[in-house]
Structure 1
Amino acid sequence: MSGTLELRVNQGGLPQAIANAVVVTVRQVLDAAGRYPEQPFERIVPVPAGGDRPAVLDVPDGTYALSARLSSGEALSKTVTVGEGQASPATFDLPASGHEWLSWQTLVGGVDSADARSRRRRSFTNKNLEQRPLRAPTMGYLSSVMPPPALAPGPTPAPAPASILQFALARGQMTFDAAGFELDPNWSIATQSDPDVHQWAVRPLAAPAPPSYQLMGLLETLDAKYVALLPSPWLYHETEEAPAQAGAIDIVFDQDAPSESALKVAVHEPRFTALLGYLGAGRLGEAAHALGDDIGGEITKLLQGKLENPFAAAGAAYVGLTAVRDRKLRERWAPWLTNLEMWFPWLPDGAILQARDRLDRAETLAHLDEAREGFKRAFQRGVPLYSAGLQHLLDGLRTFSEPTSSTFDPEAADMAHQVAEVASRVDPTQPFTVLALPRNG
């Protein structure tokens, strides 16, 4: 005997339906007779937000404990009983954002809910603090990060930075109108704000085309400068038959948040929303389940689609290298990771992922040599798009940084030190890299 659970998430104000918004754990606690089952049903499923179609799950009759873990860390729970042949709805109402234009950021945990921000404002009053100084930001430029000259097709670009640290520090010390930071005419920026939160929505002006360089958002406040790496254009298809479209990128500055975590970036993509949110929160188990039942198959498809969207391929690969232990599947991914590095030299994540995979599956000293050289190449290519990439790069270089080890490499040790300096300036609680630099550089 069985019935169905119809699972959905309600987040008011979303501009479009999201296929995979939140991961929900479904656990049977009683059978149809009211006893604890000998073999309780349990499943972890991605659940949509908005739209009319719930996630439908066939389950044995009984009572179920449902738990939705948001990328912010908040957990929502409820209990539902399913009878024979019965369709039982279960809707998780998420905290309101306060503004429709903040709904996506609230869903992925980039911005607190309206209630949380209200409580935060009251805390200032209750503590009799002086009025907080305004840190009203300015966002005037979008800049292209060019690939290293030796790897760049076409005209020779500006000289590449000598190291990942110089890359970060140079962008902290430059003013926004300095040479090398040109306004990119291919993008539009729309702004909205309230007293606490400022948002810039970045969209391409031209017809969607696969990315060919790394885009940055540059933001300045009274006490800090920010360099946000942007995954745009992020191409996706609403359906398999639909043409590609570019998801909007939200850049949000929360005035009351600490400087190091005040700037957040989110991409509007209905299938990848939960994965990106969990990836930023370091919740890789949930990130993997956000891809559905066939985790390995979905990662494989995203890697195969790297020509159209290398950003999605890299994000899925970070989850796969951490969450998937199937050695044959990892071996199948290896050539695609190599191509991700070779075909997209402006995206350092490709080199990081290829080196990480080589290190994980190393069986000989030659394999270790290949991994070490891969991490060095990644270092020279600049700051990775994903904040997880910095940690993978740091861990990989540190593998070759122990003086007493036979694999010690002094150059790798120096690189690891520099990457650690950059990592200390990055908010690790969001998926994409945002460098927070003091005004004095």
Structure 2
Amino acid sequence: MATLTIEIQQQPLGATREGDSTMAAAYVARVTRIAEGGSSPPRGSDHREFVVGLGRKTATEVEAGLWSVELALPSGELLNEQVRIADEDEIPVSFRLGDAPHERLAWQVAEGSLPERDVYEARRVPIATAGVPSRAGSRAVPARTTERMRKALPSPIIVTESYARGSVYDAIRTRTQVTVFRRVSKPDLEGASAAERFERSMETWRELVAGLRLETPIPELAGLEIDEGAAFDPRPADDRHDVWRLGEVSDGERRFAVVVTNRSVELVSLPLPWVPRGGLVDGALLELVIDKDEVAERSRSSLTLRDPDFFGVLSYLKSGSLALAGKVAGIGGEGGNMLVGVLAAKRRNPLAAAAAAYALLGSVDLAVPHPWHPWLENLSRWYPWLPDGAVLHGRWLMFSGSDIDGRARAAFLRAFRRGLPFYSLGLAWLLEGLRQFDDDECAEAARVVRQVSLRYDVGQVFTVLRLHAPPDPTET
């Protein structure tokens, strides 16, 4: 036998509150035996997958021969090396990930939401200015609208200059405003009929749709009020991105961030409360990166949760790679399954348990019984503030063949009554679930959820909605 040692190198991503360095990311590696001379590799020795932590070395024993070593990144990129190894040899295989375009963007490069520095520089084009028309399909908010909105918000406006290469403009002054809102307690509906509860839920979703069209002032959006006790700390990164950081928020109220730039308004669902097991990294739990490109067709806001223990799972969830999210957590591996443990410990961190459940449902055969299936119902029942719990329970009932007496329908309607899911995948699964039923109640709920889903960014792990307004006829 021989030994392959795989290592992933990248610039450091910071230190925890206790001062320990953290790898903060893990990736899925695959080694495959390559047949030579027309022969086939021995059965059972030709393929294996395991997890490699950023900045760590992982060794695996292989037979002598020619091997392919692949590294699947959350961005979808696949790195590959081929090595020939003889008996008793120890061969190192090192993958060097490129540095971030700025040290404050290192986490975003590690999770795959931004390219590394060399690729980033090669892809750069001049960012748009106020004097450059938007591309077809770009839904910019009229400047008069964003200016009126700024005056209604108490949070400070951060002005940065972005230099546009090749532009006739020397610099673009970008005005960015990030305001944290918390959801006001809903009226007590205990004792209300099912029809009354459904109608109240419809009102909440209609308020959200009106807010997405900027028909409703942001402070009145979907029962929100400004949270003056929580604020993001702005830190400009490069000429295209600003990084806003937020530390821990201990209470259990749901919060959103409203991001206003020159020509965009976005609503970002904040994953709070979140309890990191190993402490904060550099004192920040959340990083909100604002892309100042005025004609970007995707959302300007990208949220990163800096939890070293869960960063790999969230990175693959962000790219939609549910199977890899399961593998990076150890599904089917010798090290056990971290996701099952997180779901079992849902009392400590219900939002992490929901993320674990998304990865589990996307990684396993739902027709096969698993011991954690009953825990999905508990996640839904114990945390009425968490729409995703009911979505996950309904999803399992629908695809596992366990839907008895309309339980899946009831679960999706329960999720609808709870409001906007924290996770963007939850919004997609909620709409898909409601559409499986042809009664009037589900059809009406699906219609309004679809109106909201037209504004969400599928490339985000947490729900980000881009607000839109029709062109302002008074604007020249």
Q: Do they superpose with TM above 0.5? A: yes
Q: Distance in 1 between matches of 2:395 and 2:309?
A: 26
Tell me the SS of whatever aligns to 1:235.
coil
With over 3 angstroms needed to count, the CA separation of the structure-2 counterparts of 1:183 and 1:313, relative to structure 1, is: same
Question: For 2:238, which of 188, 194, 213 is the aligned residue?
Answer: 194
Give, in angstroms, the shift of residue 317 of structure 1: 0.7
1:277 aligned residue: 315
Question: For 1:320, which of 360, 363, 366 is the aligned residue?
Answer: 360
Report if aligned partners of 2:176, 2:260 keep a CA contact under 8 Å in 1: yes
2:255 aligned residue: 215
Q: Distance in 1 between matches of 2:417 and 2:109?
A: 35
What is the TM-score with the length of structure 2 in the denominator? Answer: 0.77
> What 5-or-longer segments of structure 1 have no aligned partner?
153-158, 401-407
Question: For 1:234, which of 249, 264, 274 is the aligned residue?
Answer: 274
Q: Quick check: 1:164 aligned with 2:201? A: no
Amino acid at match of 2:22: A
What is the TM-score with the length of structure 1 in the denominator? Answer: 0.83
Give, in angstroms, the shift of residue 46 of structure 1: 1.9
1:58 aligned residue: 61
Alignment of 1:115-134 (within 5 A): 115-122=118-125, 134=172
**Higher strand fraction (1 or 2):** 1
1:269-296 deviation line (CA, Å, top 9, x unaligned)? 2232222122121212211111124478
* Most deviating of 314-323 and 177-186: 177-186
Q: Distance in 1 between matches of 2:224 and 2:258?
A: 12
Report if aligned partners of 2:253, 2:272 keep a CA contact under 8 Å in 1: no
Report the RMSD for the aligned CA atoms in angstroms. Answer: 3.4
Alignment of 1:16-165 (within 5 A): 16-18=21-23, 20-29=25-34, 36-39=40-43, 40-50=45-55, 53-122=56-125, 134=172, 136-146=174-184, 148-150=186-188, 162-165=203-206
Give, in angstroms, the shift of residue 141 of structure 1: 1.9
Report if aligned partners of 1:63, 1:82 keep a CA contact under 8 Å in 2: yes
Question: For 2:442, which of 403, 407, 412 is the aligned residue?
Answer: 412
> What 5-or-longer segments of structure 2 have no aligned partner?
15-20, 129-163, 191-199, 472-476
Q: Distance in 2 between matches of 1:364 and 1:182?
A: 41
Question: For 2:375, which of 336, 339, 355 is the aligned residue?
Answer: 336
Amino acid at match of 1:397: L
2:3 aligned residue: 4
2:423 aligned residue: 386
With over 3 angstroms needed to count, the CA separation of the structure-2 counterparts of 1:82 and 1:261, relative to structure 1, is: farther
Report if aligned partners of 2:245, 2:284 keep a CA contact under 8 Å in 1: no
Q: Quick check: 1:248 aligned with 2:285? A: yes
With over 3 angstroms needed to count, the CA separation of the structure-2 counterparts of 1:357 and 1:148, relative to structure 1, is: farther
Q: Distance in 2 between matches of 1:255 and 1:245?
A: 25
Report if aligned partners of 2:366, 2:400 keep a CA contact under 8 Å in 1: no
2:247 aligned residue: 203
Alignment of 1:257-276 (within 5 A): 258-276=296-314
Tell me the SS of whatever aligns to 1:260.
coil
Amino acid at match of 2:107: W
Identity %: 29
